[in-house]
Amino acid sequence: MKRRNFLTSAGLSIAAAGMPSGNAAPQQAASKPLDISEYEPKSMLRVKETLVARARFPVIDIHTHLSFSKKAVNGVQMSDERTFLGTPQELLAVMDRKNLAAMVNLTGGYGKGLEDAIARYDNAYPGRFYTFTEPWYSRFKEPNYPSFQASAIEDAHRAGAKGLKILKTLGLYLREDITSGKLVTVDDARFDPMWDACGRLKMPVAIHVSDPVAFFTPTDRFNERYEELNNHPDWSFYGPDFPSNAQILEARNRVIARHPKTQFIVLHVGNFAEDLENVSANMDRFPNMSVEIGARVGELGRQPRAARKFFDRFQDRILFGTDAVPHGDEFPQQVFNDKLYEIYFRFLETDDEYFDYAPARVPPQGRWRIYGIQLPDSILHKVYNQNAARLLGVPSPG
Ligand SMILES: [Zn+2]
């Protein structure tokens, strides 16, 4: 019998024999199972803590969400009207404190909603906000959809949109009958004219397809993101109803290969930050592919040596982004506030060790902590704004 088991059974038998509870209680408490959701271990490690209150260079955050469609059905946007999540004034206060030159609102929508978003942010505060358009999926069933969608990109460009955003709707929610039927694949030819229009107009495509690879495996005791999936069961794409992570990324790669004149920014490190070798191989294959790091400092920061090499190697094609959403307290890894930016800056600029990747009671995406990669100034400058400025066709903010 192992010593711990021996003590436990001894403790129980002592209690049963009616010994004073003062002796038995600590051993009984130690043997009681603890619900994982109540476990909040405090690290006893004493390590350097650097507060990076302002980024070293002005930042363009290429991945934020300041507006959403007023109506969505089964994960598909059905209305061109927008709900706005933050006033420019409250956003600018945080931006000025953190040295954020500009925020890119990826979910700008289309039609009237897009015009409203551009008027509210981009036109009211030139150079501080940029807006992307999105596909008009509610019209997907119309026979002329491919050419309609391409001309909608031209309209959006005229209205001032800087790029096109693809949510994971494509590949995981959009179906033949829009909200029902067979899933439409990421490389469906009906979108080819849309991708081409973006290339012609120099509008980069910020594309989020698939999701963390753990979301495609069973939500069980082996799943490294068990608590997150348990909190959000609708984030699981495991099972026969969905393609695999690999199938979605292969379809995405076929799109990138077919449209070499279109720039693709694969969001969330291409949704495969768990395998930087794979991402690197795709970066080598596709010169028209860049990556964005939003909501993946938890992945990059737990493999700091591989991440640092990745930044060295692809320093001209990595963009700063956070996936920040004002007032979205539900997902601490992406709430737009000072603390969120301080974590990203700490990860990129310092060699601090073993710190939280999100301002949260427990790490929300998996129970681990991260390490800084201390990028040199030349790379920081590119990642913070130069790479984004080049793709957006705007001046570097300094
Ligand atoms: Zn996002």
Instruction: Supply the DSSP symbol for 21.
Output: H
What pLDDT does 113 receive? Answer: 97
What is the CA(8)–ligand 1 centre distance, in A? 48
* pLDDT (average), residues 52-68: 98
- 194 CA distance to ligand 1 centroid (A)? 20
Say how many Å lie between the CA of residue 64 and the centre of ligand 1.
6
**Is the pLDDT reported for residue 367 higher than 80?**
yes
Q: How confident is the model at residue 15 (pLDDT cuts 50, 70, 90)?
A: very low
Terminal alpha carbon distance of the chain? 67
Give distance in angstroms: CA of 296 to centre of ligand 1: 11
For residue 248, report the distance from its CA to the centre of ligand 1, in Å: 17
Q: In the prediction, which pLDDT does 28 show?
A: 55
Tens digit of each residue's pLDDT (9 = 90 or more) over 212-253:
999 999 999 999 999 999 999 999 999 999 999 999 999 999
Predicted confidence band at 29 (pLDDT cuts at 50, 70, 90)? Answer: low
- Residue 320 Cα to ligand 1 midpoint, Å, equals 13
Report whether pLDDT(119) > 80.
yes
* Distance (Å) from CA 104 to ligand 1 centroid: 11
Is residue 272 classed exposed, middle or buried when 0-12, 13-18 and 19+ CB atoms within 10 A define those classes?
buried
Predicted pLDDT of residue 26: 53
* Res. 10 pLDDT band, cuts 50 70 90: very low
Report CA(324)–ligand 1 centroid distance (Å): 7
- Write the DSSP symbol of residue 370: B
What is the distance in A from the centroid of ligand 1 to the CA of 361? 22
Distance 63 CA to ligand 1 centre (A): 6
- Cα distances from 136 to residues 147, 152, 194, in angstroms, run 12, 8, 11
Q: How far is the CA of 301 from the centre of ligand 1 (A)?
A: 19
**pLDDT at residue 178, as a whole number:** 97
Task: Give the confidence band of 328 by pLDDT, cuts at 50, 70, 90.
Answer: confident
Residue 332's pLDDT is what?
84
Mean pLDDT, all residues of the chain? 93
Q: How far is the CA of 321 from the centre of ligand 1 (A)?
A: 9
pLDDT digits (tens, 9 = 90+) for 265-319: 999 999 999 999 999 999 999 999 999 999 999 999 999 999 999 999 999 999 9
pLDDT surpassing 70 at residue 389: yes
Residue-level pLDDT at 333: 86
How much distance in Å is there from the Cα of 12 to the middle of ligand 1? 52
Q: What is the whole-number distance in angstroms between the Cα of residue 65 and the centre of ligand 1?
A: 7
Average pLDDT on 150-179 reads 97
| Ligand 1 center–CA 199 separation, angstroms | 22
Q: What is the whole-number distance in angstroms between the Cα of residue 328 and the centre of ligand 1?
A: 12
Q: What is the pTM of this model?
A: 0.91
CA of 21 to the centre of ligand 1 (A): 54
The rounded Å distance from CA 24 to ligand 1 centre is 52
Question: What HEC string does the chain produce?
Answer: CCHHHHHHHHHHHHHHCCCCHHHHHHHHHHHCCCCHHHCCCCCCCCCCCCCCCCCCCCEEEEEECCEEECCEECCEECCCCEEECCCHHHHHHHHHHHCEEEEEECCCCCHHHHHHHHHHHHCCCCCCEEEEECCCHHHCCCCCHHHHHHHHHHHHHHHCCCEEEECCHHHHCCECCECCCCECCCCCHHHHHHHHHHHHCCCCEEECCCCCHHHHCCCCCCCCCHHHHHHCHHHCCCCCCCCCHHHHHHHHHHHHHHCCCCCEEEHHHHCCCCCHHHHHHHHHHCCCEEEECCCCHHHHCCCHHHHHHHHHHCCCCEECCCCEECCCCCCHHHECCHHHHHHHHHHHHCCCCCECCCCCCCCCCCCCCECCCCCCHHHHHHHHHHHHHHHHCCCCCC
**Ligand 1 center to 44 CA (angstroms):** 34
Going from the Cα of 85 to the center of ligand 1, the distance in angstroms, rounded, reads: 14
Task: State the distance from the centre of ligand 1 to the C-alpha of 260, rounded, in angstroms.
Answer: 24
pLDDT for the residue 27 = 53
E strands, 293-361, are 318-319
Question: What is the whole-number distance in angstroms between the Cα of residue 182 and the centre of ligand 1?
Answer: 25
- Predicted local distance difference test score (pLDDT) of residue 272: 97
30 — pLDDT class (breaks 50, 70, 90): low
